C-alpha cells in the first residue's frame, strides 16, 4: 500500500484563509536538542494530537481537525524557549517530551487566527546539529520515517515533513500502540521508497520545489 500526499492532494477554498497545525519546539540556547530528536518529537506530537479522543467524532477538537484535513494540510513549525515556551501551557493541544526535545502540537485553525502566544514564536531558521551515529531503533511497533537524503532541509522543515509522514501513516494504518516514531536519513532511497506505506510530496511553499518527495514512512511491527 502506497499513499501519496502533499499532504492530502486537496486544495484550499478560494474564499477562505489556509489552515495549519502549529507545532512548537523547545530549543534552549544552553542545551539545544539534536536534529533527529526534534524531528521525532514533532512527528509524535502531531499524531498524538490526531489520535487524541478529543479529535474523534463528538470530541471538542473534531470539527477543527476535520475542517483542516478537508483542505490542503499545512504544518507550521516554530521554536520557543524560556517564558515563551511556558506560556504555551494553556493553549489547546498536546505535549510530547522525547529524547530531550519537547514538542507541542496545537489544534489546527486558520493561519489568520493564530493565538498570540504562538504567533510571536519564530518560524524560520531552526537548524540543529546532526547526529554522527544512528540511534538503535525502539521496540516495535513504531513508525519508521525516512528523510530524502538528496533534499537539503533545515531542522524546522524536516520536522514538518516528518509530521506529515507520521500523519499520513496514522490515517493509512491506524494508530499504533505508543505512537513511537523513529526518524532516519535513508541510505538506499529507492529501496526505502519501495518499502514505504506512505510518501510525502511537498507543496513547495518553503525551501523545496513543489512535488518534491521529502519523506516516506512505514509501520514496523
Residue in the structure block whose three cell numbers are 514538518: 160
Residue 169: Cβ within 10 Å count? 26
Distance CA 203, CA 191 (A): 24
Residues 6+ apart with CB under 8 A from 65: 50, 55, 107, 108
Residues 6+ apart with CB under 8 A from 159: 23, 25, 38, 39, 41, 42, 43, 77, 103, 126
How many domains does the chain fold into? Answer: 1
Q: Phi and psi (nearest 5°) for 23?
A: -125, 135
Contact 126, 25 (CB under 8 A): yes
Alpha-carbon distance values, 191 to 46, 176, 187, 188, 194 (Å): 26, 24, 9, 6, 5
Distance CA 18, CA 73 (A): 9
The answer to whether the peptide bond before residue 7 is cis (omega within 30 degrees of 0) is yes
Number of C-alpha atoms within 13 angstroms, CB side, residue 42? 32
Distance CA 148, CA 190 (A): 10
Domain extent for 186: 3-220
User: What DSSP state is assigned to residue 174?
Assistant: -
pLDDT tens track of the chain, all 221 residues?
A: 455 545 566 777 778 899 999 999 999 999 999 999 999 999 999 999 999 999 999 999 999 999 999 999 999 999 999 999 999 999 999 999 999 999 999 999 999 999 999 999 999 889 999 987 888 999 999 999 999 999 999 999 999 999 999 999 999 999 999 999 999 999 899 999 999 999 999 988 889 999 999 999 999 99
pLDDT of residue 151: 96
pLDDT of residue 42: 98
User: Considering only CA atoms, which of 19, 117, 152 is closest in space to residue 76?
Assistant: 19
Amino acid at each position: 500500500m502506497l499513499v501519496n500526499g502533499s499532504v492530502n492532494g486537496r486544495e484550499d477554498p478560494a474564499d477562505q484563509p489556509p489552515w495549519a497545525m502549529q507545532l512548537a519546539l523547545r530549543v534552549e540556547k544552553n542545551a539545544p536538542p539534536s536534529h533527529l530528536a526534534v524531528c521525532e518529537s514533532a512527528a509524535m506530537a502531531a499524531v498524538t494530537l490526531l489520535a487524541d479522543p478529543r479529535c474523534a467524532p463528538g470530541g471538542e477538537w473534531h470539527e477543527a481537525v476535520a475542517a483542516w484535513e478537508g483542505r490542503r494540510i499545512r504544518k507550521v513549525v516554530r521554536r520557543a524557549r524560556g517564558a515563551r515556551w511556558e506560556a504555551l501551557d494553556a493553549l489547546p493541544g498536546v505535549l510530547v517530551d522525547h529524547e530531550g526535545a519537547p514538542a507541542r502540537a496545537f489544534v489546527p485553525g486558520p493561519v489568520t487566527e493564530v493565538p498570540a502566544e504562538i504567533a510571536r514564536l519564530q518560524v524560520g531558521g531552526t537548524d540543529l546539529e546532526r547526529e554522527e551515529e544512528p540511534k538503535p531503533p525502539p521496540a516495535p511497533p513504531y513508525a519508521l520515517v525516512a528523510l530524502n537524503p538528496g533534499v537539503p532541509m533545515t531542522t524546522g522543515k524536516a520536522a514538518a515533513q516528518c509530521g506529515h509522514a507520521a500523519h499520513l501513516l496514522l490515517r493509512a494504518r491506524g494508530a499504533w500502540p505508543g505512537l513511537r516514531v523513529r526518524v532516519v536519513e535513508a541510505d538506499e532511497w529507492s529501496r526505502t521508497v519501495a518499502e514505504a506505506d506512505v510518501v510525502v510530496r511537498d507543496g513547495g511553499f518553503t525551501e523545496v520545489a513543489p512535488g518534491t518527495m521529502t519523506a516516506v514512512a512505514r509501520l514496523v511491527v
